[in-house]
Structure 1
């Protein structure tokens, strides 16, 4: 009835006789057939509703007297089932998408809430939260916070110093700190550590003692202390300040045949620690426009691969250092081609650049890494010891296993440069198992090699504070 369909299977002869509606009309004169058609040995048709209430079963009963007949479900029912199945599938997909979106949105909100509340936390919880956020940030591709004009830059250098963290894409230039309480491996024992820490704390708490010690350091005179070569007419113009120049007995000399100005002079001093034959550092001023080629010649001839820069280029409108590297691509300084490979902003306080240095005469090449501390102002100290200690760890991780000197410079190559070298030298001695540490005597040792190293009492006090903080971290890491 309605839309039900009857298929009557019969012989080929009988099917031909069904070429009209008359056969069934004789048996059911009131029946009206629709969609009547003959398909091979079968006849298909629909039985419409009628006044005699003739059903499909009645028709099948009559047809079955001389043939086999069966009822077939209407096509509309099949389409209905398929439609319902499709709708259920679509609804399922939409529900799944909604659940995934809600979970991700909730996770994102928790991340933002942690980041917002980080500044109000205190103690270890804040440190743990900050480190977790850093790991989360490093594990995903960052959003584009700052546009990078040079799409070709890569961050391959980050693998040299990162503490298990991925480099940030140059297109993102993230601002991520990686402060960790984990110090570098140290051979310092517990008793020595406590003795050194007690010495540092005594100096820091006793302001009168600290002041007297600084007065004695200011009165200290290095011997010998001649600076004749540095102040010659041809060399004087290569100095940023006549107050901080290299001693005659302790200066870096360049090969005249490779020098742009046919001179062996550069305002730079080798700084020895325990081995007088091999300097651990080269303390130098920030290059002038006229001394950039000399600077890169010094880097090349001394086999240096690490540069520590402790000054912004400009401070309060005063130039502190010339921009001695290319912003993009490469620059040629006399016979030295410097190509910027990558620039990685590690946090708000410092960044790292990687250079490809090529000697155009010999076609030899070398990779040089520059660690640039941005927020240490002249005659001043960083805001916290932690930031500088983190910076130092990155430098030493990159430098590990090298035998060449580390180039350290600020503006004049004495104040901030001397403070950094003093801290690094003392901590390195402790890491090698030194039983006694005298920071004042170590500073005198530095001033024997370059004048003016550590220029203010605040810088000297900062060195003590920084060493004490690192010793405290080392003691916490040692097995009790």
Structure 2
């Protein structure tokens, strides 16, 4: 973590180190360092880039990374302000009538914005923005920004298959999916771990224990998954998916129902 330690002025959370292993190195733009790591899944060794929310002084670096990696999709899992605290710089135009954002020669333009349409009834609120990004000496880059607006910090949303449908929407992308919350480890790690498990299940590979996947994830993105509730949330989403796909034997259904009851009791209040 030598570069993380040296770059303290550009860290949102000094207690969340950026591992040198799998660290994204910027080859365009004025600096090479950004608090971001490639994270692998069965589909690709660079399926995700997990990163902290942009700070006011790192917005340009964030967009250089998007363009360098040719990323089609960005998932934002925090709000700009949560419980009175600033969690992310305003690195994207917030509404269609907002002027383009500029950061040290980088221009971000919002072309279209709409509500993500889930095929199920859900309280999850995701807004999709179509963006055009222009950095010096590169053509205009187009990408989609998926903003999950109601996932509480260090908590969990109401559990249903919303994350599965969101991930299904962008699963065909072949470039790294850039994903962040505030620190880029808790909510971010939860979605990454769900996607990893889904890829195993959909390719008929053994899933094994989630704990093993978590330990592997933490070797790529330090401290991923912050709370017990987030860890339980991953299990609950996957169990709902197994039930929907009829991967569960009927004898397992009572255990799922018991787990769901206990899960709801444990996470009540978020």
What's the TM-score once normalised by structure 2's chain length? Answer: 0.83
Q: Which residue of 1 aligns with 2:3?
A: 229
1:394 to 169, 174, 192: 169
Please show how residues 32-431 of structure 1 align to structure 2 within 5 Å.
227-232=1-6, 235-255=7-27, 258-259=29-30, 263-274=31-42, 278-327=45-94, 328-346=98-116, 349-362=125-138, 364-396=139-171, 400=172, 402-431=173-202
CA RMSD of aligned residues (A): 1.9
Secondary structure of 1:463's counterpart equals helix
Distance 2:57 2:178 in 1: 19
Structure 1 CA distance for aligned equivalents of residues 206 and 93 of structure 2: 45
Match of 2:256?
A: none
Question: What secondary structure is seen at the aligned counterpart in 1 of 2:132?
Answer: strand
**How far did residue 304 of structure 1 move?**
0.7
How far apart, in 1, do the equivalents of 2:133 and 2:207 lie? 41
| Structure 2 residue matching 1:343: 3-state secondary structure | strand
Q: Could you say which residue in structure 1 is the equivalent of 2:229?
A: 458
Partner SS, residue 252 of structure 1: strand
**Deviation per CA, 1:403-454, whole angstroms, max 9, x where unpaired?**
2110010000000000110011101111112134321101111000111101
The residue number in structure 2 matching 1:10 is none
| 2:230 aligned with 1:475 | no
- What is the CA distance between 1:250 and its match in structure 2? 2.5
Q: 1:416 is paired with a residue of what secondary structure?
A: helix
Paired residues of 2:43 and 2:199 also in contact (CA < 8 A): no
Tell me the secondary structure at the aligned position of residue 385 of structure 1: coil
Q: CA deviation at 1:236?
A: 0.5
Give deviations 1:34-92, integer Å, cap 9, x for gaps: xxxxxxxxxxxxxxxxxxxxxxxxxxxxxxxxxxxxxxxxxxxxxxxxxxxxxxxxxxx
Is there any run of 5+ residues in structure 1 with no aligned partner, and where? Answer: 1-226
**Could you tell me how far 1:266 is from its partner in structure 2?**
0.6
Structure with the higher fraction of residues in helix conformation = 1
Conserved 8 A contact 1:382-1:388: no
Within 2, Cα distance between the matches of 1:264 and 1:384? 39
Residues 178-221 of structure 1 show CA distances to partners (whole Å, capped at 9, x for unaligned) of: xxxxxxxxxxxxxxxxxxxxxxxxxxxxxxxxxxxxxxxxxxxx
1:250, 1:346 → 2: CA distance? 31
What number of residue pairs does the alignment pair up?
A: 239
- Give the TM-score of the pair, scaled to structure 1: 0.48
Query: What do residues 122-165 of structure 1 show as CA deviations (whole Å, max 9, x unaligned)?
Result: xxxxxxxxxxxxxxxxxxxxxxxxxxxxxxxxxxxxxxxxxxxx
Partners of 1:346 and 1:367 in 2: CA distance: 18
* CA distance in structure 2 between the aligned counterparts of 1:404 and 1:391, rounded to whole angstroms: 17
Structure-2 separation of matches of 1:430 and 1:230: 35
| Equivalent position SS for 1:283 | strand
CA contact (8 A) 1:371 1:395 kept: no
* Cα shift at 1:275: 7.1
Cα pair 2:225 2:231 within 8 Å, conserved: yes
Unaligned stretches of 5+ in structure 2? 118-123, 248-270
- Larger deviation: 321-330 or 465-474? 321-330
Structure number, greater radius of gyration: 1
